[in-house]
Structure 1
């Protein structure tokens, strides 16, 4: 659920007002080499492989989160102004729960799989798939959900039996410093470490060979990470984001409910969420009715004014605040809700625009903030065409009770996830994978899916020596008779016409 537009391994342009981690707390570059060397030694020793070790580390991670919950939520508030309920509900709570669940399900996940659906003549080979740890992994996390997006890959690496280095964002400095302080008190320092810093430290990490790299952020930086990994043929998972559309089928949905749920996803973390609804598609004649519903919901949730509400966060730093302001200054659409700002506190009210066109400033890039454009459309055909003309989004939302509409969106569009009649909370469903497609990223996360990401599925056969007399036909010298015996089943099998 992350993004970090101004954070990049090769970026040197950072707002002077953007809070960053104290350079005195940066990890020395020479120490990064030592950590890397140590982790490979640890992995080769087999220390991380026993399930008992993994379970102990997972429980230790959960205890770290639970015993320091106030310190973590205070740090997140200091960095992002994120309300405590959001930090607990969307970040700290899920990590505690999922780390414990992972510990309890290790045997199930790691158990070798006996493959029985094979031809009878191959069954004596005992084909098996083993779950093998890939090796030391690197996690590069963003600032917008700094806790869950740094520790979710970490519990996955632990469960898979992999050492891991986590690089938190320098734009969540209080959290990054706290994590670096606490993690060694709970987890094995020969296998798990925090590397803090900015461009030099991230670049140094990317110069090294890892068994897997998981990066959460934007596509521009994702390409840099993928290119660096390619030098070592390192597999990569990218959780990127993009412009997630939200279609409102006014003919078959309750606009009031749609407004409540759209604003739930848009206002969380002041819109700085990679799966936030980026823009709305709705029939032109229903646009005003939806605006009315959005106004009512905002008035109900923030009766004293949203900029002074303790239930609403802020923009992370001045650079992002100015980016959003610039986007609004160039729009040709009408602002019908919001527009209020408090630059000193980096507060921006949810701002709804109507009659937005495809070439408007707010449609150029992922908004990643509390701006909500409404794009009027003629019909479902135009909705599908509009979505398909753009990069595959991380999420596609649709408010509709029409089964035919749902099926067409399933069949005729592609996105990381497809959610009907809600926004944002698909991330709460532990048993489904969270990942993008194409420009929105690749590589699944969450519980078993995270375990799988850092696990090599290693195939194995054990061919009995006793069956040697039956294998003679495969050996040279080749003869027509041997060829017929070995290929008749495949080459001569009947093929249906349809």
Structure 2
């Protein structure tokens, strides 16, 4: 049972974390290392409880929970532990000869107290992976998990104070009122993952205090299937990406644009892969297939299926359960750009197929939508890859696979435009919550060079300063 945090307690929680940061408790690397080690223990000790909470909220298969929600977090914390000294080491930047004796140094210093608002679809990953960056950076943090994934949020509330320093880290649970109370406070960085509508609200709240913000949103991440590529492999990798968390993933392949010359063969490849993945159907007894998170989202998706003008090639059925609704992975063909399936991000196990005659036409379709987190393309053509790099916009451009960039903690991940801004993963999460603070030490021996800058101003001093406007060029 999820208990909401009393709103009147939220300012006191915030004040406690502010005091902890001001006291310097989170700055020593030994302290940060201990907290990261404790986070690893928390996930290892409670692996079964975490998998059970994910099952209750999403019917997420244990295989997906172990890989995407637990192993990824443990691995990410291990990466931070292995690199903490390197990440935090002062840097001596290269400077011109005029300033070489000023001893410039760039320090990675913690920004301060962080607010981290996470979504329901990957409740542990999208809470704790960025949180690892905050710990590594030396920042206290409030975690605000989604109330929609109530069992996961309740488990976080139970576990975090058992394993981590409660003076530096807190879980605040609740809905709109509690989130609004959090956003009314001054933070040193806000990290939000979710939809664009709430993202705009978060950004507006942050603007009141000129608070730096990271937004990871979503969008209709497209897939292009080019002629000449292995169609069975493309079908396999597209359906794998679409199946993760029953399509409830911010970088889920939203729709596929396929070249007309290979369209019939591609549909046959989809049928073969579908039969391999779900021999008796995804809703068959014993099949590990997740549910839609709640009835509101289930009805939204069923309405799309009922109103699409396209043809259901595979799937299309749904099943009512005591704890929710499961919808089969569904492939829809003969879909036009005006179809209900093409109006907004689907965020579910429905995948429309659009046929085009050229890569240029595919690019035109992609550019007609707001910028997405990812553009996927299956192609062997270097010319096509370059064209997509030059003429499409997205946070990530991934060739010949789907969703796997989420597991690469050594490359940045983030959006552009309507899909968000800022980057995280591994070192980039640490960088997100750190300030590059520059230190210089100007020696007294520089004084002869400063003579012309002082009052009283004279014509001679003016001519010296003017000469700097015309430096010698090579």
Runs of 5+ unmatched residues, structure 1:
1-20
Query: 2:273 is matched with which residue?
Result: 297
Partner-residue secondary structure (3-state), 1:432: coil
Runs of 5+ unmatched residues, structure 2:
none
Query: 2:69 is matched with which residue?
Result: 91
Query: 2:40 is matched with which residue?
Result: 62
Q: What is the correspondence of 1:97-496 to structure 2 with a 5 Å cutoff?
A: 97-115=75-93, 117-249=94-226, 251-308=227-284, 309-344=286-321, 345-494=324-473
String of CA shifts for 1:367-426, please: whole Å, max 9, x gaps: 000100011112111111111122111000000001100111111111100000000001
1:54 Cα deviation from its structure 2 partner:
0.5
Matched-pair contact (CA < 8 Å) for 2:253–2:402: yes
1:489 Cα deviation from its structure 2 partner:
4.9
Closer/same/farther in 2, CA of residues 113 and 330 from structure 1, 3 Å limit: same
Matched-pair contact (CA < 8 Å) for 1:244–1:275: yes
Matched-pair contact (CA < 8 Å) for 2:218–2:250: yes
TM-score where L is the length of structure 1: 0.92
Matched-pair contact (CA < 8 Å) for 1:287–1:354: no
Take 2:433 and 2:12, find their aligned partners in 1: how far apart are those partners?
22
Query: 1:47 is matched with which residue?
Result: 25
Closer/same/farther in 2, CA of residues 471 and 364 from structure 1, 3 Å limit: same
Take 1:191 and 1:177, find their aligned partners in 2: how far apart are those partners?
19
Q: What's the Cα RMSD here?
A: 1.4
Take 1:327 and 1:342, find their aligned partners in 2: how far apart are those partners?
16
Partner-residue secondary structure (3-state), 2:289: coil
TM-score where L is the length of structure 2: 0.97
Partner-residue secondary structure (3-state), 2:17: helix
Query: 1:5 is matched with which residue?
Result: none
String of CA shifts for 1:8-59, please: whole Å, max 9, x gaps: xxxxxxxxxxxxx64xx11111221111010000000000011111011011
Partner-residue secondary structure (3-state), 1:139: strand
Partner-residue secondary structure (3-state), 1:459: strand
Query: 1:3 is matched with which residue?
Result: none
Partner-residue secondary structure (3-state), 1:293: helix
Partner-residue secondary structure (3-state), 1:458: strand
Matched-pair contact (CA < 8 Å) for 1:268–1:312: no
1:492 Cα deviation from its structure 2 partner:
4.4
Partner-residue secondary structure (3-state), 2:369: coil
Count of aligned pairs: 471
